[in-house]
C-alpha cells in the first residue's frame, strides 16, 4: 500500500508540473511518465532535441550536439521533463520544471543527427569538447592497449563518400606508436581527413587511397582492397568505399564497449542511410557489436568475411556470393 501511495504521489506531481506546457506546434502536452518513456529518454540511438524555457515556435531548437535545427511544425513533439526530473524517488515539488530549465522533446519519428565533427578542435586534444571528459576518465583506468590517443592523431569515425555503394564496418582506428603519429600527422593526410569529416567533395573521398597519401595506413587498406583495386583501379575504389568505425577514437586494440559517446550516433546514422539506399555492407570486425546496435543490418546486402581481421575482401574470403555483390554494387555506382 505504501508503495502504491508513493507511486501515485510521484505521478501526480509530474503530471501537475507539466500542466500548461505546450509543444512547438502550440498543442498542450503532458509528460509521458511511464517507465518505458523514462527508459526512452536515455536509450542510445534515440534523438532528443533541446530548447530553452517554454520553447515557443519562434525560439531556436538545438539537437544533442548543441546545433540549431529546423523542425517542421507538422512533427508531433511530445513534451518530456528534463533528465532526472522523472526519476523514481523524488517528490512532487522536485519534479516541477523551472522556466530556465531545458525541456526535452522526443520526436515520434527519428531525426538524423547533424554532423558533430565540425566542432573538432584544430589543435590537440583531437576530441569533441562534449566528449573529452568521458574519454579522459576512461583513459585513467584503461590498459595501455586500450588507451585512446586523442592527444596524438585525428579521430577516424568514417572515411569516404557518405553515399558510396559499398560500406565497410570496423571497430575503431588503429594505433601503432610513433610511426602512426608521424605518418598520420603529415599535412596532406590531415587536410584530407579533416575535409572528409565535413563531407567536403574530393578527388579521392577514401583518403587512404589518395595519390598523395603514403605510409602503413595506406598499405593496410591496399592489402584489404587489393582485389577490388586490381579490378577497378584505385581511383574508382576510392570513390566507391565508405569505411565506418564503431568507435571514433584510435587505440592499439578495441576495448571501449562500456564507453558510449554521442558522436557514435552520427556514424550509425550513416550506416542506416546506407541500408535504406540498399548499399552493400561489408562487416569486417565487431560483428556482435554492430548487430546488437543495429539488427537491421541483417539482410541480403550484408556481406561477412571468413577471416575478418587481416584477410582481404576477396572471392575466397567473402562468405557465399558476397564478393560478387560488392563488385556489382561498385559497377552500379559507376554507371
pTM of the full structure? 0.69
Query: Is 187's pLDDT higher than 50?
Result: yes
45-69: average pLDDT: 41
State the Cα–Cα distance between residues 88 and 7, nearest whole angstrom.
8
Read off the pLDDT of residues 151-181 as tens digits, 9 standing for 90 and up.
Answer: 999 999 999 999 999 999 999 999 999 999 9
pLDDT of residue 312: 93
174-193: average pLDDT: 95
pLDDT of residue 14: 41
pLDDT of residue 42: 31
Query: Is 102's pLDDT higher than 60?
Result: no
| Predicted confidence band of residue 185 (pLDDT cuts 50, 70, 90) | very high
Contact at 8 Å (CB) between 250 and 175?
A: yes
| Mean pLDDT of the chain, nearest integer | 76
Higher pLDDT, 88 or 180: 180
133-153: average pLDDT: 96
Cis peptide before 125 (omega within 30 of 0): yes
Query: Is 257's pLDDT higher than 80?
Result: yes
% of residues, the chain, pLDDT over 70: 66
State the Cα–Cα distance between residues 216 and 271, nearest whole angstrom.
26
Task: Indicate the SS3 state at residue 116.
Answer: helix
The mean-pLDDT minimum among 15-29, 216-230, 272-286 falls in 15-29
Read off the pLDDT of residues 209-235 as tens digits, 9 standing for 90 and up.
Answer: 999 999 999 999 999 999 999 999 999
Per-position DSSP letters for 44-63, written without gaps between them: TT--EEEEETT--TTS-EEE
Amino acid at each position: 500500500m505504501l508503495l502504491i501511495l508513493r507511486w501515485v504521489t510521484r505521478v501526480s506531481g509530474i503530471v501537475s508540473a507539466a500542466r500548461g506546457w505546450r509543444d512547438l506546434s502550440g498543442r498542450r502536452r503532458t509528460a509521458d511518465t511511464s517507465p518505458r518513456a523514462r527508459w526512452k529518454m536515455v536509450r542510445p540511438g534515440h534523438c532528443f532535441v533541446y530548447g530553452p524555457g517554454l520553447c515557443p515556435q519562434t525560439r531556436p531548437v538545438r539537437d544533442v550536439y548543441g546545433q540549431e535545427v529546423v523542425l517542421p511544425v507538422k512533427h508531433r513533439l511530445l513534451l518530456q521533463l528534463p533528465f532526472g526530473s522523472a526519476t523514481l524517488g523524488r517528490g512532487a515539488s522536485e519534479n516541477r520544471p523551472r522556466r530556465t530549465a531545458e525541456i526535452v522533446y522526443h520526436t515520434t519519428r527519428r531525426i538524423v543527427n547533424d554532423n558533430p565533427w565540425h566542432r573538432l578542435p584544430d589543435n590537440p586534444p583531437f576530441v569533441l569538447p562534449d566528449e573529452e571528459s568521458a574519454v579522459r576518465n576512461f583513459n585513467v583506468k584503461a590498459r595501455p592497449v586500450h588507451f585512446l590517443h586523442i592527444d596524438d592523431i585525428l579521430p577516424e569515425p568514417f572515411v569516404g563518400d557518405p553515399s558510396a555503394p559499398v560500406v565497410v564496418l570496423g571497430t575503431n582506428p588503429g594505433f601503432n606508436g610513433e610511426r602512426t603519429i608521424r605518418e598520420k600527422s603529415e599535412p596532406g593526410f590531415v587536410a584530407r581527413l579533416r575535409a572528409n569529416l565535413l563531407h567536403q567533395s574530393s578527388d579521392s573521398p577514401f583518403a587512404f587511397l589518395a595519390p598523395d597519401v603514403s605510409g602503413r595506413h595506406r598499405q593496410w587498406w591496399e592489402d584489404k582492397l587489393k582485389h577490388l583495386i586490381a579490378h577497378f583501379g584505385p581511383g574508382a575504389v576510392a570513390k566507391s568505399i565508405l569505411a565506418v568505425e564503431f568507435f571514433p577514437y584510435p587505440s592499439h586494440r578495441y576495448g571501449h564497449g562500456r564507453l558510449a559517446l554521442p558522436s557514435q550516433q552520427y556514424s550509425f546514422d550513416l550506416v542506416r542511410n546506407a541500408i535504406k539506399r540498399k548499399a552493400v555492407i561489408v562487416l569486417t570486425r565487431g560483428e556482435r557489436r554492430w548487430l546488437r546496435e543495429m539488427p537491421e543490418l541483417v539482410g541480403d546486402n550484408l556481406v561477412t568475411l571468413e577471416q575478418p581481421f587481416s584477410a582481404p575482401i576477396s572471392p575466397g574470403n567473402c562468405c557465399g556470393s558476397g564478393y560478387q555483390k560488392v563488385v556489382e554494387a561498385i559497377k552500379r555506382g559507376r554507371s
